[in-house]
Structure 1
Amino acid sequence: MSLETIFYIILSGIIALLLALFQYKYQRKNQGTINWILIGIRFLSVFLLCLLLVNPRFEKVVSYEEKPTLVVAVDNSNSVAYLEHDNQVKRLIESIDNNDELKERFHFDWYAFSEDLTELDTLDFKGKQTNLDRVFSDLTQIYRQENAPTILVTDGNQTYGGDYSFTSEKYGQSVYPIILGDSTVYSDLKIQKLNVNKYAFLKNRFPVEAILVYNGEETVSSTFKVTVGNTTVFSKNVTFSPDDNSEVLNFYLSANQVGVFTYHAEIIPLEHEKNTVNNTKNFAVEVIDQKTNVALVSAIRHPDLGALKKAIESNEQREATILTPGAFLENIDNYQLVIAYQPNTTFKRVFESFNDFSRNVFYITGTHTDWNFLNSLDLGFKQTVTNQKEDYLAYLNLGYSNFLIEEIDFESFPPLQSTFGEVDYQIAANPLLFQRIGSVSTEKPLLATFERNQNRYALLLGEGIWKWRAQTYLNSKSFSEFDTFLGKLIQYLASTKKQSRLTVDYESFYEGNNNISLKAQYFNKNYEFDQREPLEVVIKDENSEQVTTYPLVLKNNFFEVDLSNLPPSDYSFTVKAVDENISTSGSFKILDYNVEQQFLNAEITKLNQVASQSQGKSFFFDDYDQIINDLLEDNRYKPLLKNNRIVVPLIDWKYLLALVVLLLGAEWFIRKYNGLI
């Protein structure tokens, strides 16, 4: 309590005493006992009212007991059910949840995981992938400041993500794996991995890499083969031993026809092999007739060029070549799209060639761009020339209509740098990204597309796009979101197809363990995105002839339908607008592959490593009762007695106001009873 508050409290007491004495001592000469009682009551009531006005604050210390958190994370992937541990897991969860001693000692937090970590609601063991690396990363963020021993119920088999034995080191909590499986070693042959490009080119040969692995204690022989339909296109005999238990096969297959072709790879199972699902794997290759060649023309060196080349070539259908203006002119017929990076006067002959050879162009400007030169040309846009530089942040135009684009957190991207000046589009432009300068959002285009004389163009006002690709990796641990965004822009610019009012985004084939979805956009007659038009897709299974209709659900600036429940097969589809006579058709293939069924044993070694390095302990399912005893006996997990200091203002004490009312009422009653009023 401050000295100022103490002064006001003393002053309140003096004022209350003076008022009481003035009324009952000075004005009344009767010095009876009643007067002294009334003086005391009046002093208290006035003093308490003054205290409420001063409103001093008092500190209150509240003691409470904080239990440590027991985290229980349960594997909800398909491999648990495939290895027939699902009923065991449910009994284990019930046993932990019903243990009164654990409830008294710990606060429980329940999670389930497969591709992601989620709060545990129900267990269905239908997760198509397992990412334990993501589990430990998420738990690290949640329990950074807590004492939270963790029970990990899993077989330890991970289908994608980083090595979770390293991620768990950063977790900072003791981990107690309950291993679903046993230590029995079964003889097993499997196709560990098949590496193949998604696309191949007509009349070429494409490479395939097969990694074969043997687990067993005897020398065995088998045959690996690849078939298309009933035709074997590759075959080789392989031999394995306990010491030489893997083999990498590299071979080539021919691409003789355009289209999507499915191949069946198989290593012949051993006579008594327990798991034969991992002996086969299907893969598909789309054979295309030509590759899109993109010319990256620049007179300067800049990291943007490397980032653009990497992003463009992430799709095997495209090839990007970095060229000087002179080198481009020598091979002008080889390219379907030109990216003119920060053009200056050295581009004069390049732009003149566009009059003779019609080309779609993507203009990228920046601090090295010669705007006086560009303004002298008839390109469809001009910019006011200044000597100032400006940083431009980006945000997505949700109404962009030329092709389907998804939000990839553009607002987290670093700014692009360019010269400051107003850009005047002399023809209708469709902004894809708008400018944000500092915290001010504008409707001025940062990236826009436009069409002119049957050609397609794009203009990006800023350099530093390599930072965007790097930021995408920081956000999602992958470059794919940025590469997909740029790939769609390149695909639009390189295409000569007329814009459709109904566009559909899909893949030619999907692996069965991946999420499968179709995305679509519908535009009205003015080519404005229309979210009111209901869309539906009619899916036909070409093998069973079964036809199913699904509605598409609006999601941000596109419609989407989830088709992950479809079984592996060949499908054709038609997306149509319900109220309009507009539709788009296509086909895709779902490959038969379940990565969660490729495992025969639990990953015991790695789970033991996680337990050891975190000062925990691993257990097999049959011994899970022991983990309960260990947790109850471990002194690291005792409840903590904590004090919480609370500042309480006097005005919050409602009983004080009631006391004031009671004192004033008592004073009135005494005066009334004694005839003083």
Structure 2
Amino acid sequence: MTSITIIYIILSGIIALFLALFQYAYKSKYTKTNAVLAGLRFITIFSILLLLINPKLDSETFYNEKPNLVVAIDDSNSLDFLEQSDSVRILVNALKNNSDLNKKFNIDFYKFSDDISLYDSLEFSTKQTNIDKALKGLQAIYKNTVAPTILITDGNQTYGNDYEYAAKSYKQPIYPIVLGDTTNHIDLKINQLNVNKYAFYKNKFPVEVILVYNGEAAVTSEFKITSGNSTVYSERVSLSKSNNSKIIQVTLSANQIGLFTYKASIQPLANEKNIINNYKNFAIEVIDEQTNIAIVSDILHPDLGTLKKSIESNEQCSISILKPSEYLAKINDFQLAILYQPNASFKSVIDKLNTDNLNRFVIAGTQTSWNFLNSVSTNYQHDLISQTENYLAEENNNYTEFIIPDINFDDFPPLSGQFGNINVKVSFQILLYKQIGSITTDKPLLLTLDNNNRREALLLGENIWKWRAQSYIGTNSFNNFDDFFGKMVQYLASKKRRERLSLEYESFYDGNTNILLQAQYFNKNYEFDNRETLTIMVTDEVSKETKTIPLVLKNANYEVDLSSLPASDYQFTVKANSNNISKSGRFKILAYNIEEQFSNANASKLQKLATDSQGQTYFNIQITDLTNHLLTDNRYTSIQRATKKTVSLIDWKYLLGLLVLSLSAEWFYRKYKGLI
């Protein structure tokens, strides 16, 4: 309450007293009745004046805040493989039902594998583990609180940043409970196998294998690569404690077109415990041709290198960066031209593309000559304004020309382009809308045209290198961005007529990845139809078992997750139930589970994580020791906090009640005395 408010209250009291005395004491004899009435009138007037002043009153309440105790549980398949799933459930129940811990802490349970989520149940079926991602997620939730973390895991991570260094950014003590055998058994394994997904007919393709040995004595074994019953490569390998790894590089021939599977294996040692990691299957799809794409540019820009790296991430594509004159000399060698910021030097190029009715991808920016483009284009015209603008991207979920991969355009930085509207004279679809600041417009940033058997895309902004960089920052991978541009190029380079039912799937899948099949269905006018019901019938070619699964509508496509299928060869048919339209195909799932490559727990890495975070490592039989430590550690005590609340006097109901009471009492008293 301020000093000026206090002065107003004092003045109100004086005024109320003066008025009450004036009414009942001035020129009147002093009587007990007048004194009572003056007192009641004083209360009434003073209460009304207080309500008019409406002073602010501060109230403060105190409460005790318990520290948090975070329990993060590894729900990956490796714990089931190491026969620790029952131990995990026992540990979770022991922590959940410990009354002393619940009295001291607010206990929150999470489970993690390839992602982290609130704990509900444990399945131990996920085939990937990312401990670093789990710790980053918990840090974001508990960054401003006291929250010691119990990490129930075997310490084996299959992908992501090395969690050993997570303690540098994780501000809470970590208490790993190590599950699994910590004894170092003798082990000879294929640690990594590197091979491209595609090879070209009558060429050779490289295979790189990294072998790792864990043991004391020197050993000799045989490494070989087989295809069916045939051995295509073999080599004797000698390893020891000091020379415990070997890189084998092999070149194999692609003499037939199609999908071929191979098995790389190292002969197990006599007393080796885990022999699952002694082999790995891989596959190669041999194709007869490669898509050659030309990036035509008359300027230097970081976008050129980004486009080349992004598109060439697909081994079926080859990129050449050329000047307009160089492209004209080799135009017949390419299936698609990407015209980067065209100007007058592109005149002959565009004339040739128009004459031959060839597909193209035009990328415009701040250095684009729209005066020139308007003069050579019959499909669109752009406003001639010299001002530039930065445009954010907003995805059109109803785009149907091809299936857009999951990519978060909302997080991408803006592209730079010339200000103004574009007038498209033929049928087109908008893939990305322009967003200026927080305002999403109905103007296209990226659009595609399909007119007179010619496909064309137009992107109205430069600096897409920032998009690829942001994609990596957000996901630790370029894959989402590269898949997006790969789909765009695949659509533009193809001259196939659109089908009413189109499918998107791979010829083979590694057994460790998600297996998603996507489909699009169009009505007779080739408009996307979201009312259709699509089902897929999948048949295992080995066991002959058949499953029928519905596809789920997702934005402008249908999708089904087949990750639960075991490794085998499959044939499938996707059918539109209300129409006699179907499409069939084949794919292979390779037998591989990275979670089964570990034979024991990674206790040393968990120990370092605990030490660096000022925590401590425990084993599952030491749950009582961990509980006692948490209960006695002085760092984890309840904190008394205060809540300060400012309330206006006008909200104080008791003052209103006092006002009503004083008025009523004065009326009844006057009535009783016969003064009314």
Which category describes the TM-score, using the shorter chain as reference length?
over 0.9
1:389 is the counterpart of 2:388: yes
Give the Cα separation in 1 of the matches to 2:439 and 2:526: 28
Quick check: 302-311 or 380-389, which moved more?
Answer: 380-389
Quick one: structure 1 residues 234 and 377, their matched pair in 2 at CA, closer, same or farther if it must change by over 3 Å?
A: same
Aligned to 2:492: 493
Quick check: 223-232 or 76-85, which moved more?
Answer: 223-232
Which ranges in structure 1 are unaligned for 5 or more consecutive residues? none
Aligned to 1:504: 503
Contact 1:182–1:620 (CA under 8 A) maintained in structure 2? no
Aligned to 2:272: 273
Aligned to 2:20: 20
Aligned to 1:662: 661
Aligned to 2:188: 189
Give the Cα separation in 2 of the matches to 1:12 and 1:576: 84
SS in 2 for 1:326: helix
Aligned to 1:5: 5
Aligned to 2:33: 34
Aligned to 2:459: 460
Aligned to 2:295: 296
Aligned to 2:371: 372
Amino acid paired to 1:617: Q
Q: How far off its partner does 1:7 sit?
A: 3.5
SS in 2 for 1:376: helix
Contact 1:295–1:339 (CA under 8 A) maintained in structure 2? yes
Give the Cα separation in 2 of the matches to 1:68 and 1:204: 64
Give the Cα separation in 2 of the matches to 1:570 and 1:363: 41
Aligned to 2:127: 128
1:605 is the counterpart of 2:604: yes
1:519 is the counterpart of 2:518: yes
For residues 8-65 of structure 1, what are the alpha-carbon distances to aligned partners after superposition, in whole Å with 9 as ceiling and x for unaligned?
32343234324433443348x4532132122212222332233233321111222222
1:260 is the counterpart of 2:259: yes
Aligned to 1:444: 443
SS in 1 for 2:392: strand
Contact 2:552–2:560 (CA under 8 A) maintained in structure 1? yes
Q: How far off its partner does 1:70 sit?
A: 1.2
TM-score, normalising length: structure 1: 0.96
Q: How far off its partner does 1:567 sit?
A: 1.3
Give the Cα separation in 1 of the matches to 2:181 and 2:33: 91
Aligned to 2:71: 72
Contact 2:406–2:480 (CA under 8 A) maintained in structure 1? no
Quick check: 288-297 or 523-532, which moved more?
Answer: 523-532
Quick one: structure 1 residues 635 and 379, their matched pair in 2 at CA, closer, same or farther if it must change by over 3 Å?
A: same
After TM superposition, the structure 1 = structure 2 runs for residues 310-321 of structure 1, keeping only pairs within 5 Å, are 310-321=309-320
Give the Cα separation in 1 of the matches to 2:24 and 2:154: 87
SS in 1 for 2:223: strand
Q: Percent identity?
A: 54
Give the Cα separation in 2 of the matches to 1:486 and 1:538: 31
Amino acid paired to 1:13: G
For residues 313-350 of structure 1, what are the alpha-carbon distances to aligned partners after superposition, in whole Å with 9 as ceiling and x for unaligned?
01111011101112212222211111111122222222
For residues 411-435 of structure 1, what are the alpha-carbon distances to aligned partners after superposition, in whole Å with 9 as ceiling and x for unaligned?
3322222223332323222222222
Aligned to 2:560: 561
Q: How far off its partner does 1:357 sit?
A: 4.6
After TM superposition, the structure 1 = structure 2 runs for residues 26-175 of structure 1, keeping only pairs within 5 Å, are 26=26, 29=28, 31-175=30-174
Quick one: structure 1 residues 248 and 406, their matched pair in 2 at CA, closer, same or farther if it must change by over 3 Å?
A: closer
Aligned to 1:237: 236
Q: How far off its partner does 1:355 sit?
A: 5.1
Quick check: 382-391 or 320-329, which moved more?
Answer: 382-391
For residues 246-287 of structure 1, what are the alpha-carbon distances to aligned partners after superposition, in whole Å with 9 as ceiling and x for unaligned?
111110222222222221222122222221211121111111
Give the Cα separation in 2 of the matches to 1:234 and 1:480: 32
Aligned to 2:592: 593
1:627 is the counterpart of 2:626: yes
Q: How far off its partner does 1:549 sit?
A: 1.3
For residues 449-505 of structure 1, what are the alpha-carbon distances to aligned partners after superposition, in whole Å with 9 as ceiling and x for unaligned?
113332211111222111111121222222111111111010000001101222222
Amino acid paired to 2:411: S
Contact 1:181–1:620 (CA under 8 A) maintained in structure 2? no
Quick one: structure 1 residues 669 and 385, their matched pair in 2 at CA, closer, same or farther if it must change by over 3 Å?
A: closer
For residues 67-110 of structure 1, what are the alpha-carbon distances to aligned partners after superposition, in whole Å with 9 as ceiling and x for unaligned?
22111111111111111111111111222222222222222121
Amino acid paired to 2:13: G
SS in 1 for 2:25: helix
Aligned to 2:637: 638
Contact 2:166–2:609 (CA under 8 A) maintained in structure 1? no
Q: How far off its partner does 1:675 sit?
A: 2.5
Q: How far off its partner does 1:652 sit?
A: 3.1
For residues 392-444 of structure 1, what are the alpha-carbon distances to aligned partners after superposition, in whole Å with 9 as ceiling and x for unaligned?
22212222221111452223322222223332323222222222233332222
Amino acid paired to 2:95: I
Contact 1:542–1:569 (CA under 8 A) maintained in structure 2? yes
Q: How far off its partner does 1:619 sit?
A: 1.3
Amino acid paired to 2:7: F
Contact 2:427–2:451 (CA under 8 A) maintained in structure 1? no
Quick one: structure 1 residues 349 and 450, their matched pair in 2 at CA, closer, same or farther if it must change by over 3 Å?
A: same
Q: How far off its partner does 1:218 sit?
A: 2.0
Amino acid paired to 1:61: E
For residues 127-164 of structure 1, what are the alpha-carbon distances to aligned partners after superposition, in whole Å with 9 as ceiling and x for unaligned?
21100110121122112211211111111000000111
Contact 1:399–1:528 (CA under 8 A) maintained in structure 2? no
Q: How far off its partner does 1:665 sit?
A: 3.2
Give the Cα separation in 2 of the matches to 1:592 and 1:36: 100
Quick check: 17-26 or 170-179, which moved more?
Answer: 17-26
For residues 216-237 of structure 1, what are the alpha-carbon distances to aligned partners after superposition, in whole Å with 9 as ceiling and x for unaligned?
2222222222222222222222
Give the Cα separation in 2 of the matches to 1:306 and 1:102: 56
SS in 1 for 2:622: helix
Amino acid paired to 1:162: N
Quick one: structure 1 residues 670 and 384, their matched pair in 2 at CA, closer, same or farther if it must change by over 3 Å?
A: closer
Contact 2:504–2:518 (CA under 8 A) maintained in structure 1? yes
SS in 2 for 1:399: coil
Quick check: 147-156 or 553-562, which moved more?
Answer: 553-562
Contact 2:405–2:483 (CA under 8 A) maintained in structure 1? no
Contact 1:404–1:503 (CA under 8 A) maintained in structure 2? no
Structure 1 runs (4+) deviating above 6 angstroms are none
RMSD: 1.9
Give the Cα separation in 2 of the matches to 1:478 and 1:644: 45
For residues 352-377 of structure 1, what are the alpha-carbon distances to aligned partners after superposition, in whole Å with 9 as ceiling and x for unaligned?
33356552111112222222322332
SS in 2 for 1:402: coil
Which ranges in structure 2 are unaligned for 5 or more consecutive residues? none
Give the Cα separation in 2 of the matches to 1:595 and 1:172: 31
